[in-house]
Amino acid sequence: MEDLLLPRIAAGDQSAVPECISRYGTLIWSLARRRLASRQDAEDAVQDVFVDLWRSADRFDPLVAEEITFVAMIARRRVIDTLRRRTGLPQAAVDAAAIADVPDPADDASVGRRLELGDEARLADEHLDQLKPEEQRLIRLSVYDDLSHAAIAEHTGLPLGTVKSHIRRGLDSLRLKLAGRRRAHAERSTR
């Protein structure tokens, strides 16, 4: 297992800070640069991500997600926040623009994304592919693009209750799959 940096940062270990920048800087930069129009906006977003990582390092739980997944999620949220601030458009308009950047699960970028995720996140992503197409689509908009249920309903033309139901059923199915995997792993560990 890779040396975890966020618990060290949370504990005040200053040597973990440059290691974190070295380990995750390229990932965060590529996420910011891909979504933001200007280099300056991307640099600002990267700085915001690292500040947010220092502040929220104590919230990281390795039992919930891999460290890289936690870092990527914070990066994605900060990039979307920067997009919203810079465009001056209403949130729904920025959300609709962000939808255009959703990767097709069948293309090579999706495969690359899976390689970046930890084992558990990868399992969840693979299980996501087994859900009903509408559940897959709505969960991807919610989780990968950080869209609100209302923004998804507006974009898709589906009733808000339908959006919530599809997402809830799909997430419940993913949760059960991951819980089963954890139980199986715990049973193997006790043998």
The count of structural domains within the chain is 2
Computed over every residue of the chain, the mean pLDDT equals 77
User: Quick one: tokens of 26?
Assistant: 């390229």
Question: Domain span at residue 33?
Answer: 1-88
70: domain CATH number is 1.10.1740.10
Q: Which of 40, 61, 88 is the last residue of a domain?
A: 88
Span 60-106, pLDDT tens digits: 988 888 898 889 889 988 888 888 876 664 554 444 444 344 333 33
**Percent share of the chain, pLDDT over 70:** 74
Q: How far apart are CA 56 and CA 66, in angstroms?
A: 15
**Are residue 127 and residue 182 in the same domain, yes or no?**
yes
Check whether residue 40 and residue 112 sit in a common domain.
no
- pLDDT of 151 higher than 90: no
**Angle at 75 (CA atoms; ends 74, 80), nearest 5 degrees:** 100
Instruction: Assess whether 110 and 168 both reside in one domain.
Output: yes
Q: What sign has the CA pseudo-torsion 131, 152, 156, 34? A: negative
Assess whether 15 and 79 both reside in one domain: yes
Residue 101 lies in a domain: no
Q: What distance lies between CA 163 and its chain's CA centroid?
A: 20
Residue 127 and residue 168 in one domain: yes
What is the per-residue pLDDT across 4-37, written as a single tens digit (0 to 9) for each? 999 999 999 999 999 999 999 888 988 888 888 7
Whether 46 and 13 have beta carbons less than 8 Å apart is answered as: no
Residue 127 · residue 177 · CB < 8 Å: yes
User: For the chain, first and last CA: distance in Å?
Assistant: 21
